[in-house]
Structure 1
Amino acid sequence: MMVSMQLSEVSTTPGLEVLRLLTGSRHLDRRIRWVYTTDLLAPRRYLSGGEVVLTSTTWRRRPEDSDYFVRMLADGGAVALMAGTAMLGAMPHDLVRACAQYEIPLFQVPDELSFGEIAETVIGRLHEERAGELERMVGRHRRLLHGFTRGDGLSAATDLLRTELGVASWTMSLTGRVLSGDCPRSAEVRRTAARHAAAAPRLPICRDTAEGPITLLALAADSAPQAPAQVLACAADLRDWSPTERETVEEVAEFLAAGLARRDESARQRRDQLARLAALLDRDDTDPARLVAGAPGAGLDLGAPHLLLRARIAGAAAPGELARQILEEMSAHLTPDGVTATIGTGPDSSAVAVLPLPDRAAPTPDELRELLDSFGPAVGGGDIRVGAGASDIGARGLRRSWDQAGHALLVAERRPDGPALIGIDEVDTFGMLLAGTPDSLRRSYCQRVLGPILDYDARCRTDLLDTLAAYLAASGSWHAVATQRHMHVNTLRYRIRRVEELTGRDLSQWRDRFDFQLALDLRRG
């Protein structure tokens, strides 16, 4: 807790009215933290910032000493200098010039006022303010604790900031969704602010927007750079806050973080249980009875329809947790009972969400994509891919939806230029097989089937591969391909015969046509 008084209050404090300001009137808004008395020429090491320095100027042996002494005060963060003239008889002009140069307010202390009286008066005021601030802090804590015991701690915290500081504040998710409080900012500004919070090296930060400044504080155990799940936002500029006001806001943020952690404990337990269920779903030999037994711990009723989503983010610092937060935001817009979990750790981690849908139809892939696109800025520089299974019921339905979402996710990841979210209904069986093919097998197969054609095209600067792809796409229609590629039918026949000669395959045989088509699809995927 930092307590201070303003420098301008010194001259109005009883007993200190006789102090005479010689220079520095523009800096009287500085805050005094303590009083330090010295006659050392180099007191820098004993200053920690915020001190009023008292000196009798016995350190001055020559005019240059004034510049050195005042520079040491400025480097140490002193807010003002109060100098007596009993030793020198008058205030040295070089000392006044140095104070003006280094922007250190200079007060002349008359002979009848002792340094002890100054120190006792200022420190006494600081102690009074400290006692008052302690009382106010205890009152704030009592109000916050009372709010949390009533179950409305989020609202109690934002109300406190409004009544004590006159600051509109609200809590929001990493996508800008308001969780509590009165938010005077538009949805677009909130989303932009949340994106800044996710990208910031540390919080708090302040960002200027078209609707005014927003200060963002992490609602977490620390202010680590990974995107916080919730932030406290204030419609104010932290750079304008006094130390006491900033401490008040930070206290509220700490209480909110602790309260949210307690409130979210049951949600964390459900997430942990869903992660354990995901490990069972990933095994082919899992007994469905184990899924039935574990589902209630994750808050799932397998007797009701549910939708399963799986997501992965490439290029994020903690991809699994960020993907889980995105799925949680999507879930919050669809159902209040959705459960999310992170799967695995490190750069290969991913996320899963199970959304109970007892009273509504499953959202279409287009609806899910629109929802996901609105959260895109929260991903930062990462590339999110999501697979959606079909709505299903029961333990076996959960397994089917898990597998379907996994296949759809693979297809989405294999298509970097395609949509970020793919539903299982948009993936045919052939596409699922291609998505599950390892990269090494893809390369080997493509080289074995298409290698001679690729080598020939590179060597002779021809386009046999494109001709073959067009021929297969047209189901072997000579006239259609010739028209499309603006060539004579005989030229087309020659090129297809050249493909057969190079590869040793016969395009009149369906197995060879299938091999060519499969290799082309694998190469494009």
Structure 2
Amino acid sequence: MRLRALLDTDALGLRLLGGEDELDRSVRGVMTTDLRDPSRYLAGGELVLTGLAWRRDANDSEPFVRLLVQAGVAALAAGEAELGDVPDDLVLACARHRLPLFAVHESVAFATITEHVVRQVSGERAGDLAAVVDRHRRMMTSGPAGGGPDVVLDLLGTDLDLRAWVLSPTGRLIAGPKVAGPSLEPETCAKLAAEHLAAARTGRRGPHRVLVGGARYSLFPIRSSGRSPQAARDVRETVLSDWLLAVEADAGDWPEERLDLLQGVTQLIAVERDRRDAARTVRRRLAQEVLELVQTGAAPAEIAARLRVAAPVLLPGLGTAPHWQVVVARVEWEGEQVEGGPVAQSLLEEVLVDPEATGPEPSDRIAVAHAGDEAIALVPLPAVSSEHDGPETGLLADALLQAVREPLSAGLNDDGRLTLGVSAAVHSAEGLRGALEEARHARRVAAARPGRVCAAGHQELASHVLLLPFVPDDVRRAFTARLLDPLKDYDRRHRAELIPTLEAFLDCDGSWTRCATRLHLHVNTLRYRVGRIEQLTGRDLSRLEDKLDFFLALRMS
């Protein structure tokens, strides 16, 4: 459609303030923004709608308009509801850059203009796509009764015969059609998320077309419209937090009208994403307040009082004093400096979601703060009876990353790492400071391990496990070679199984009977093998020091 056509529609309430000679420009989309720099979300040809919340004084208009012109937008429409008349400095800036400027009457909602533009630019479509877009808009803006993204995906299925799902960057299924057949398997979700993250790291624009499990999918990124005005240009700052829309179809031969429609759907779903992110604000603030008290050495009574305030928000309806667990995560990138704290915060919120939780928002019991490049989660656990309370209570490090390792490794590519540490559960405010330090130590142990995605829990902080990762590689190799290489060489030449015998002997705490039973050997045969081990290495397995050296060598090998 042309800009001139917008003025011919009285219901839009548009008044031209400048750019009369440019009204034959084509409009290919619409975007609503109050960011001071929205250029990264613009593809060119958009009608930009703004409420002017970005404008603090007259000096802000010139750089804002310059950015829009550089992005190739078709025109700017400014709402009069916030400031009354459109400021003269904005009118002059648009005139200097030959950018058409409209005023939007305060009685006209931006949604009305958006609906009209989307309907007009999606001319040829399968079925009545104007009705589809209108129903999508109404469903997404009608609050809880509208059903959220699930209803939008149902409409795609019923009106366009497209099966689609909304996935998190870790492959968690956020929303899917309820009336269009079975849902995606978790393995498929993880593979789709991995394909999406890998493609996003290349910088290619979506949709990304992939083949998974014999089916063809097109992946559309869902980018939050609520990012800060200082949103970074580096894809690594958002790649691990953006949702995606997976459509079971090959978009390679789609007409532009259908592609535009799907892009509009991602924008509608982004509204729901922003709404969920806004709901996390209170939990994040509570976590930040508790974290600051813990780190500054506040009195346990003060921390406990803050936890009593947090408990109803984090554990709605339980009515019991929870136990608490601390999880620390860090996302690090090689090369150029990329702020890791917000990335780790968003990612940790996602990783901590229980995939079996029910309800509209399963992360409503997760509070994550960030300090520098470190994200810190305060996870409440329902109080459990004493017979179920023990070292395995709460979150386990390996279990947290088991299902998300594949997609996150793809997103981290060859230049990023995620390391995560988990504390034991504590029962009171007095234990939180120790839990925080414990989680940080566990994360350092994870960071010393190879791999892009690593985690460690409090169970792994035994002295030998804590110290081994920090032994230099050359020292490790020399130590293990000196003790174990003679045994390995002997095993290769004689098939004597001295190494398995040594491992079993140490696991049985030096008990001849138990070790012989485990290996299905006569005790005399076992004594012969142990004697051969001592002869080849010059060690005495009756001495504690030599047993410990062999134990460490086997752990490091």
| Equivalent residue in structure 2 for 1:170, among 159, 165, 169 | 165
What is the one-letter code of the residue matched to 1:218? I
1:208 is aligned to: 211
Query: What is the aligned partner in structure 2 of residue 106 from structure 1?
Result: none
Measure how far apart 1:374 and its partner are: 1.5
| Distance in 2 between residues matched to 1:463 and 1:326, nearest whole Å | 42
Q: Matches of 1:418 and 1:217 in 2, distance apart?
A: 23
**1:307-386 alignment, distance < 5 Å:** 307-315=325-333, 320=341, 321-322=343-344, 324-326=346-348, 328-333=350-355, 336=362, 337-345=364-372, 348-358=373-383, 369-380=398-409, 381=413, 382-386=416-420
**In the alignment, which residue of structure 1 is the partner of 2:143?**
148
Query: In the aligned structure 2, how far is the partner of 1:413 from the partner of 1:270?
Result: 28
Residue aligning to 1:179: 174
- Checking the alignment, whether the CA contact within 8 Å between 1:324 and 1:351 is kept in structure 2 is no
- CA distance in structure 1 between the aligned counterparts of 2:406 and 2:133, rounded to whole angstroms: 40
Aligned partner of residue 219 in structure 2, secondary structure: strand
Alignment of 1:62-81 (within 5 A): none
- Distance in 1, matches of 2:208 and 2:260, equals 15
SS at match of 2:162: coil
With the length of structure 2 as denominator, give the TM-score of the two structures.
0.52
| Structure (1 or 2) with the larger CA radius of gyration | 1
Alignment correspondent of 1:253: 266
Where in structure 2 are the equivalents of 1:439-458 lying within 5 Å? none
Separation (CA, whole Å) in 2 of partners of 1:399 and 1:364: 19
Residue of structure 2 equivalent to 1:504: none
Amino acid at match of 1:406: R
Partner SS for 1:264: helix
What pairs with 1:21-60 in structure 2 (closer than 5 Å)?
none
**Structure 2 contact 324–381 (Cα < 8 Å) conserved:** yes
CA separation in 1, counterparts of 2:349 and 2:528? 49
- The Cα of 1:193 is off from its aligned counterpart by 0.8
Residues 298-354 of structure 1: CA distance to partner in whole angstroms, max 9, x if unpaired?
Answer: 834692123332233455866552575255334323664431425334xx4344351
Query: CA distance change for structure 1 residues 137 and 300 in 2, over 3 Å: closer, same or farther?
Result: closer
Query: Counterpart of 2:269 in structure 1: which amino acid?
Result: L
| Comparing 326-335 and 204-213, the one that deviates more | 326-335
Structure 1 letter corresponding to 2:294? L
User: TM-score, normalised to structure 1's length?
Assistant: 0.55
Q: Secondary structure at the match of 1:343?
A: strand
Alpha carbons 1:204, 1:215 under 8 Å: kept: yes
Matched residue of 2:327: which SS? Answer: strand
Contact 2:483/2:537 (<8 A) preserved: no
Q: State the one-letter code of the partner of 1:192.
A: K
SS at match of 2:350: helix
**Change over 3 Å in CA distance of 1:249–1:242 after alignment to 2:** same
The one-letter code sitting in structure 2 at the alignment partner of 1:271 is: R
Q: Which residue of the other structure, out of 294, 301, 313, is the alignment partner of 1:289?
A: 301
Q: Which amino acid aligns with 1:341?
A: V
Asked if the contact 2:314–2:367 (Cα under 8 Å) also holds between the matched residues in 1, the reply is no
Matched residue type, 1:412: A
State the number of aligned residues. 371
- For 2:451 and 2:256, the matched residues in 1 are separated by 50
Report the counterpart of residue 410 of structure 1 in structure 2. 444
CA–CA separation in structure 2 for the residues paired with 1:391 and 1:334: 21
Residue 120 of structure 2: aligned partner:
130
- AA of the residue aligned to 1:258: V
Opposite residue 423 of structure 2, the aligned amino acid is G
- Bigger shift: residues 185-194 or 222-231: 222-231
User: Aligned partners of 1:250, 1:351: CA distance in 2, in Å?
Assistant: 34
Gaps of 5+ in 2: 4-25, 28-43, 46-116, 124-128, 228-232, 487-501, 511-525
Other-structure match for 1:241: 254
Sequence identity percentage: 23
* 1:7 equivalent in structure 2: none
| TM superposition shift of 1:205 | 2.0
**1:266 matched to 2:288:** no
Change (3 A) 1:254 1:408: same
Take 1:328 and 1:358, find their aligned partners in 2: how far apart are those partners?
23
Bigger drift between 222-231 and 360-369 goes to: 360-369
Partner SS state of residue 171, structure 2: coil
Q: Spell out, residue by residue over 1:252-281, the C-alpha distance to the aligned partner (whole angstroms, 9 max, x if none).
A: 211211222123312133124313433433
Matched, 1:232 2:245: yes
Matched, 1:393 2:392: no
CA distance, structure 2, for counterparts of residue 161 and residue 398 of structure 1: 48
Q: CA, structure 1 residues 524+350, in 2 after alignment: closer, same or farther (shift >3 Å)?
A: farther
Report deviation, 1:247. 1.7
Per the alignment, do residues 409 and 187 of structure 1 end up closer, same or farther by CA in structure 2, a change over 3 Å counting? same
CA drift of 1:218 comes to: 1.6
Alignment-derived partner of residue 82 in structure 1: none
Of 138-147 and 152-161, the range deviating more from structure 2: 138-147
Q: Which whole-Å CA distance do the structure 1 matches of 2:484 and 2:137 have between them?
A: 76
SS of the residue corresponding to residue 355 of structure 2 reads: helix
Residue 296 (structure 2) pairs with residue 306 (structure 1)? no
Once the two structures are TM-superposed, the CA of residue 413 in structure 1 deviates from its matched residue by 3.1
Give the match for residue 158 of structure 1: 153
Determine which structure has greater relative contact order: mean sequence separation of CA pairs < 8 Å that are 6+ residues apart, divided by chain length: 2
Q: Distance in 2 between matches of 1:135 and 1:357?
A: 48
1:169 & 1:408 partners in 2: Cα distance?
39
Letter in 2 for 1:332: D
2:445 partner letter: V
Q: CA RMSD in A?
A: 5.3
Question: Structure 1, residues 87-124: CA drift from partner, whole Å, max 9, x if none?
Answer: xxxxxxxxxxxxxxxxxxxxxxxxxxxxxxxxxxxxxx
